[in-house]
Amino acid sequence: METNFYTYSGKHRGILAWILSTDHKRIGLLYLSSMFTFFLAGATLGILMRLELIAPGPTIMTAQTYNAVFTLHGVIMIFLFIIPGIPAALGNFMLPLQIGARDVAFPRLNLLSWWFFITGGLIALTSLFTGGGPPDTGWTFYVPYSIRTGTNVSLALFGVFLLGLSSTLTGLNFVTTIHRMRAPGMTWFRLPLFQWSLYATGWVQLLATPILGITLLLVIIERFFGVGFFDPAKGGDPLLFEHLFWIYSHPAVYIMILPAMGAVSEIIPAFARRTIFGYKAIAYSSLAIALVGYLVWGHHMFTSGMSDASRVVFSLLTFLVAIPSGVKVFNWVASLYRGSIQTDAPMLFTLGFIFLFSIGGLTGLINGALSVNIHIHGTHFIVAHFHYTMFGGTAFAFFAALHYWFPKMFGRMYREGLARVAWFIIFIGFNTLYFPMFVLGWQGMPRRYYDYLPQFQTGNIISTIGSWILVSGLLLMLFNLVRSISKGEKVGDNPWGATTLEWKTSSPPPHNNFAEIPTVTTGPYVFK
């Protein structure tokens, strides 16, 4: 009972005990560490991009380099950080613990998923240094350019294909696990809300990712064999690629945000010390987002050439998908009402999430309106909207969850004061960095351009300064977390007094998670 999963001795030793382990907790930490390594690479590219844009004209890099940098920033952040993000790292760690199971349904498949992830990531990074140079297509790989460019697109696509496979298999594993391995008494409506969000995400991963797989394969085949599916000279249609790409890539943003919403739904009851408001509404809205989110991809293509009828339908569906997100926001806020709110770091990040995600979500409606979309399509407004949902939304919730579950994963506490300071710097830096982009975009500054007109300089300078603030906050936060893994103060099994099952076992948990599988008799958020 005294040994936890770190001290447990399995078949292998040293690093092999990690990279060959089928223990979901170790795999979760493998994801976490590899993911943050990629995140730092992506953030470095981001800060270089901002530095280039501090003044009009060439500043620190050539136009071609800039194209490669924004492509890689996108590919790394999307496919290597934010899509695997919360589910693969924290989901892996917490899913069996929260439902009272000893592991996921397919532990070896779980390990295989990580191997696909790390191989795919390394292949994508290899594409930078080999072949015809780093890909310069943007993370969307739009044809016909992605077929014609001489840069190393095929290898990068293959890497992303493997990442997609990894994501699909993780989804498969989680859906099966939640169906089959809940502890006795853990009915569907006693599941913690994080589980509901993982469940909905799992289905999106399963049903959307294969479309990306085949689309990327088709581009690779196109580059090697010139089949002609996307080449107008041979009768192909480049728009078809855009459709196929967004059939996956729009649901993918829900793969990114749903688990974030789930994590937030865990933290709010723990720090307001009362049950969540509207449990079922939050659970069902996760499913509704997954379902409707599957059908809105056309809103990425309002200016690409589509019939008016389809544009109206896609616009309407886009408005509809905002409703379940709104339901969640209202429920979170209502949960705070008359709670005894504690503003520890996880809660601060969560409140930051609600604020920033609301801005991101509401500007999404502006994008979704047909007439306005014509004006802001392809401008920095989109960049700002996207970062408010994905960084202000998903990443803030990720950081919140990381602080929240930190004592669970490591048995030690980070330094609270430092964490609050880091949160403050990140929050200020984030808004300084991205808010000016709304204004710049509205004024007409296009995205993905290496240069801009002189009248946009003020906004760009503010934004670049914001990037420095943001990065210093991020480094402070990571420093605090990394040092606390070994030097943090030891705290008990349940420092937050939270009520879900993962806190009922020791921290860090033993290899088998529970000495005895618990029997569940109440809902997840019952505070006495």
Nearer to another protein, 175 or 268 (CB): 175
Q: Residue 241 and residue 229: Cα distance in Å, rounded?
A: 9
User: Is residue 446 classed as helix, strand or coil in its secondary structure?
Assistant: strand
Structure tokens, 223 = 């580059």
Number of residues written out for the chain: 528
Nearer to another protein, 181 or 413 (CB): 181
Nearer to another protein, 77 or 244 (CB): 244
Compute the least distance from the CB of residue 228 to another protein, in Å.
5
Positions that interact with another protein (CB under 8 A): 101-103, 105-106, 109, 168, 172-173, 175-176, 179-181, 206-207, 209-211, 213-215, 217-218, 221, 225-229, 234-237, 240, 244, 512, 517
Structure tokens, 279 = 């449990």
Compute the least distance from the CB of residue 100 to another protein, in Å.
12
Nearer to another protein, 178 or 282 (CB): 178
Compute the least distance from the CB of residue 29 to another protein, in Å.
21
As a dihedral over the C-alpha atoms of residue 365, residue 366, residue 367, residue 371, rounded to 10 degrees, the angle is 120
**In 3D, which of 218, 213, 244, 214 has the Cα closest to residue 231?**
218
For the purposes of burial, counting CB atoms within 10 Å of the CB of 140, is it exposed (0-12), middle (13-18) or buried (19 or more)? middle
Compute the least distance from the CB of residue 227 to another protein, in Å.
4
Compute the least distance from the CB of residue 141 to another protein, in Å.
15
SS (H, E, C) 479-516: HHHHHHHHHCEECCCCCCCCCCHHHHCCCCCCCCCCCC
Nearer to another protein, 4 or 176 (CB): 176
Compute the least distance from the CB of residue 103 to another protein, in Å.
7
Decide the pairing of beta strands 412-413 and 489-490: antiparallel
Q: Which residues of 90-123 are buried (b: 16+ CB within 10 A; e: fewer)?
A: bbbbbbbbbbbbebbbbbeebbbbbebbbbbbeb
Compute the least distance from the CB of residue 44 to another protein, in Å.
34
Q: What value does the CA radius of gyration of the chain take, rounded to a whole number of Å?
A: 23
Please, what's the largest Cα pairwise distance for the chain?
70
Nearer to another protein, 35 or 181 (CB): 181
Compute the least distance from the CB of residue 84 to another protein, in Å.
17
Name residue, tokens 């008990």: 492
Nearer to another protein, 13 or 108 (CB): 108
Compute the least distance from the CB of residue 159 to another protein, in Å.
18
Nearer to another protein, 173 or 467 (CB): 173
Nearer to another protein, 141 or 229 (CB): 229
Nearer to another protein, 215 or 432 (CB): 215
Compute the least distance from the CB of residue 254 to another protein, in Å.
16
Q: Residue 470 and residue 43: Cα distance in Å, rounded?
A: 10
Q: Residue 381 and residue 365: Cα distance in Å, rounded?
A: 12
At residue 61, what are phi and psi to the nearest 5 degrees?
-150, 165
Compute the least distance from the CB of residue 301 to another protein, in Å.
15
Compute the least distance from the CB of residue 210 to another protein, in Å.
4
Nearer to another protein, 48 or 244 (CB): 244
What is the DSSP annotation of 213-275? Answer: HHHHHHHHHHHHH---TT-GGGT--HHHHHHHHHHHHHHHHHHHHHHHHHHHHHHHHHHHTSP
Q: Residue 257 and residue 393: Cα distance in Å, rounded?
A: 7
Non-local (6+) Cβ contacts of 319 within 8 A are 365, 368
**In 3D, which of 343, 346, 339, 441 has the Cα closest to residue 388?**
441
- Which residues of 367-481 form beta strands (DSSP E)? 412-413
Nearer to another protein, 100 or 411 (CB): 100
Name residue, tokens 């191997």: 115
